[in-house]
Chain A
């Protein structure tokens, strides 16, 4: 089946620290991979995506590279800000399964000033 596993949180960092949130996946077929972010009290927003192996998605200083050999899509940012505090969800979709999104459990990020 299709599933996503991401590191448990909460992750607590000081401002300007380096961020990594690990995400690995299992998929039947060739998935597209996503990171969504949920700020407090809001819905999910697409942060970045990658649709094929070795693609790098990037947005707002965040990056993730689609690694087929390790079935991973780790999220990174070089210098986090307090405003990055949110819940981050890794997700996949497989066209053969109607492009339904399969989400990981989410990782809470707290950035302290």
Chain B
């Protein structure tokens, strides 16, 4: 079975540019989570969706960040404009209806904003 798929795996961009991170959850999973990991702050939950609907976006740092889930098999996290402090590893995770507690993580996107 394919796990959670994220793309790109690495992204280097310049300050002010738009960045779009993509995630394909495990087929059949109905919850999707976006996390950010930095040395300073550890793992932070940014937003999560249930059945494609955003449930809690209280972790989204500011208006420059937005996330969408147009269908059950795809989600995006967009940063516009990007800033150097956005440099981090961004993880997507999904979980299934029968076991919402267990989240399966993707390999992450390592973002560097210069």
Contact = CB atoms under 8 A, between A and B. Distances in A.
B104 interface: yes
Nearest to A92: B101
Given A98-B56, A100-B48, A100-B56, A46 B102 contact: yes
A49 B102 contact: yes
Interface string A89-104: 1000101001111011
A51 B107 contact: no
A44 B105 contact: yes
A22 interface: no
B105 A43 contact: yes
Contacts of B67: none
A24 to B, nearest CB: 16
Contacts of A105: 42
A93 B101 contact: yes
Contacts, number: 49
A32 interface: yes
Interface residues of A, number: 22
Nearest to B92: A43
B106 interface: yes
A106 B101 CA distance: 19
Nearest to B44: A103
Interface in A58-113: 89, 93, 95, 98-101, 103-106
Given A93-B101, A105-B42, A43 B56 contact: no
A6 B60 CA distance: 25
Interface of A: 32, 34, 36, 41-46, 49, 51, 89, 93, 95, 98-101, 103-106
